[in-house]
């Protein structure tokens, strides 16, 4: 699979003056930074149709994981093992997100085949891969929910307005070419006063600055947007959300941004 040879404008502000970040290029994939708004993005992403089958996430994820394990040196292996160890003392995901989001209908965008939510959550999902969405649908229906197959930014607009109690975008938004539309769709389908949770790689982390082209947040061609806390906040605000980092204290150290996007209770009529 070759990368498309046409370069898109900045997805955040649509202007075409983009600095090519040559040190982050891999094969024919090119990353650029907008000269107007500093947004960092993959300049030549593949279109949705390819993602449905050929480039579906499960295939590239497995290949990247194996490659990364092979290239992990002793210090990185130690850090990795420490992270795995400390995870045991944290809340499990269900408890953690129940505290943050509250119970009810949760829409997991880019859910894959894994259903992480049980009662008092009612799990719904959107998944582009036909194979994975069929598997998730079966499991979600057994729990009272449903998985919708399709491209996130399009499929979400077919769902009812003011309907869901929460939206989950865990390791999703960085894959979404049309992330502004997707966020607008999330805002539309959430009930007033409810929240979306976003977790994306943190392009402004200290590890990214030190690791250069070896930073684990770089994934070609899966990751198409490289958010910083500022650019994620701008995108959330543009869609109508209030924005709150949940890992604010350690954000500069953290390879991920974790944030709540809150739909205000009072909507203009
Ligand atoms: Zn821009």
Cα(68) to ligand 1 centroid in Å equals: 31
Which residues have C-beta under 5 Å from ligand 1, the single-atom ion?
10, 12-13, 34, 36-37, 39
> Is pLDDT of 71 > 80?
no
Cα(20) to ligand 1 centroid in Å equals: 13
**Residue 5 lies inside a defined structural domain of this protein:** no
Cα(54) to ligand 1 centroid in Å equals: 30
> Is pLDDT of 70 > 90?
no
**Residue 2 lies inside a defined structural domain of this protein:** no
**Residue 10 lies inside a defined structural domain of this protein:** no
**Residue 4 lies inside a defined structural domain of this protein:** no
pLDDT digits (tens, 9 = 90+) for 93-125: 899 999 999 999 999 999 999 899 999 999 999
**Residue 268 lies inside a defined structural domain of this protein:** no
Cα(15) to ligand 1 centroid in Å equals: 6
Determine the Cα–Cα distance for residues 207 and 204; give it in Å rounded to an integer: 8
The number of angstroms, rounded, from the C-alpha of 33 to the middle of its chain's C-alpha atoms is 19
- Determine the pLDDT at residue 47: 72
pLDDT digits (tens, 9 = 90+) for 187-203: 999 999 999 999 999 99
The CATH number of the domain holding residue 221 is 3.40.50.150
- Determine the pLDDT at residue 11: 97
**Residue 166 lies inside a defined structural domain of this protein:** yes
Cα(198) to ligand 1 centroid in Å equals: 21
Number of independent structural domains in the chain: 1
Mean pLDDT of the chain: 89
Domain limits at 26? 18-262
- Determine the pLDDT at residue 218: 95
**Residue 120 lies inside a defined structural domain of this protein:** yes
**Residue 159 lies inside a defined structural domain of this protein:** yes
pLDDT digits (tens, 9 = 90+) for 207-260: 999 998 999 999 999 999 999 999 999 999 999 999 999 999 899 889 999 999
């Amino acid at each position: 699979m070759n990368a498309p040879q046409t370069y898109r404008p900045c997805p955040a502000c649509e202007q075409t003056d983009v600095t090519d970040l040559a040190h982050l290029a891999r094969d024919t994939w090119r990353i650029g930074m907008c000269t107007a708004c500093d947004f960092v993005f993959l300049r030549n992403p593949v279109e949705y149709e390819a993602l449905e089958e050929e480039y579906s996430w499960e295939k590239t994820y497995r290949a990247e994981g194996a490659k990364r394990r092979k290239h992990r040196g002793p210090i990185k292996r130690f850090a990795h093992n420490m992270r795995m160890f400390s995870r045991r003392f944290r809340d499990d995901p269900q408890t953690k997100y129940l505290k943050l989001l509250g119970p009810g209908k949760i829409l997991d965008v880019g859910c894959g085949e894994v259903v992480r939510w049980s009662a008092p959550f009612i799990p719904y999902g959107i998944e582009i891969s036909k194979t994975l969405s069929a598997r998730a649908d079966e499991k979600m229906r057994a729990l009272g929910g449903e998985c919708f197959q399709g491209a996130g930014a399009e499929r979400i607009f077919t769902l009812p307005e003011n309907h869901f109690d929460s939206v989950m975008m865990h390791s999703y938004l960085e894959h979404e070419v049309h992330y502004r539309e997707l966020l607008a769709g999330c805002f539309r389908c959430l009930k007033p006063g409810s929240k979306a949770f976003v977790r994306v790689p943190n392009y402004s982390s200290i590890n990214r600055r030190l690791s250069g082209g070896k930073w684990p947040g770089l994934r070609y061609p899966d990751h198409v947007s490289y958010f910083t806390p500022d650019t994620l906040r701008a995108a959330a605000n543009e869609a109508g959300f209030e924005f709150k980092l949940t890992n604010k204290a350690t954000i500069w150290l953290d390879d991920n941004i974790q944030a709540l996007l809150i739909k205000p209770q009072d909507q203009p009529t």
